[in-house]
Chain A
């Protein structure tokens, strides 16, 4: 009986200890809060950011690229042909979002997933944020674009990226990412795979406005190349612009050398050389709805 009493006493006291532990965890959690918004938009020109809107948020994304900036007669590219992507993303949790988008070039339909593996904390116990991003694209043009021996898998392309970001000060955030792109069906002299790195950043100028930039470098790694000499190797892409983020919107207007709105094609097929003046005006608008 005595043993039973001791057992019951311990059993009754157990929740007290458990609560105490919770409080300790709570204090630790408060101390290690994530930094405030290292980036204000899910994309920075032509690259993803570590930003994921809070859980149960639906995001509508409009991405637009005008024609090459030439002169006033084409209104610096605005009167020319353009590329556009419309997409929706949904944050399932604070760290996980999924999405779908459709793009004019190649009638590309893309499915994407983004996951925050680590968040940078205010006490610097975790000095960086780490985010994984992946997408699968389906080229939805007519079968005739794919030549002979057509199979559905010819339409598929993939992009995976690991992004490391750090908010250095209240006004400056920089991220570096490594990516792997794959296109299932390419011309016989072209490559199927490409490893690339990107540098992006946001320098806040006022509470709502920031200068943003992105630089993407497709790497030439002999070990994974299928051909000893590359045909039309992809060019490095560069973009710089202005971002305004509000409670429910994010606006970016910029010049960039990349016109593809899917990162795998930017990394593998971009032939625009920004040093030769191949630049294009573009903008991105996002709208958020919380549920």
Chain B
């Protein structure tokens, strides 16, 4: 085996190790995601009444808006398993849990529309208040 072949084999060997290391990291990365800490929700929001509570007509609108704005991270059923979720440093959480569903509508509104850190603010993207509450009404169906 000449020097050139040995060098090529060495490079291929290093590349193979790097490839498998990267592939392995792909399985490790999601476990490294942080869990989001408790939210500090201003009382103005926590006490906020949902003017459209129980309006089932809005669920369809909420589902449509959820698909457009939320699904890519939060997943089809709100389990936090959307295609972009793995890129996040913080696990987006599951909307099906009791912890989330125990929130008041106002608390959900703050988390969904105002956001924090990796959860973006949607005030400028979803400008109509009725549309914002439509999303909250839809989140209630993801139990």
Contact = CB atoms under 8 A, between A and B. Distances in A.
Interface of A: 33, 36, 54, 56-57, 170, 206-208, 245-248, 290-291
Given A33-B130, A246-B72, A247-B69, A207 B124 contact: no
Residues of B contacting A: mostly: helix
Contacts of A206: 67
A245 B125 CA distance: 13
Nearest to A244: B68
Nearest to B60: A170
A57 B69 CA distance: 16
A273 B67 CA distance: 38
A36 B67 contact: no
23 contacts: A33-B128, A33-B130, A36-B128, A36-B131, A54-B124, A54-B125, A56-B124, A57-B124, A207-B63, A207-B64, A207-B66, A207-B67, A207-B68, A208-B68, A208-B71, A245-B68, A246-B68, A246-B69, A246-B72, A247-B69, A247-B122, A247-B125, A248-B125
A208 B124 contact: no
Given A36-B61, A206-B67, A207-B67, A54 B131 contact: no
Interface residues of B, number: 17
Contacts of A54: 124-125, 127
A291 B69 CA distance: 17
Contacts, number: 33
Given A36-B61, A170-B60, A291-B124, 11 more contacts: A33-B130, A54-B124, A54-B125, A206-B67, A207-B66, A207-B67, A208-B67, A246-B69, A246-B72, A247-B125, A248-B125
Interface of B: 60-61, 63-64, 66-69, 71-72, 122, 124-125, 127-128, 130-131
Nearest to A56: B124
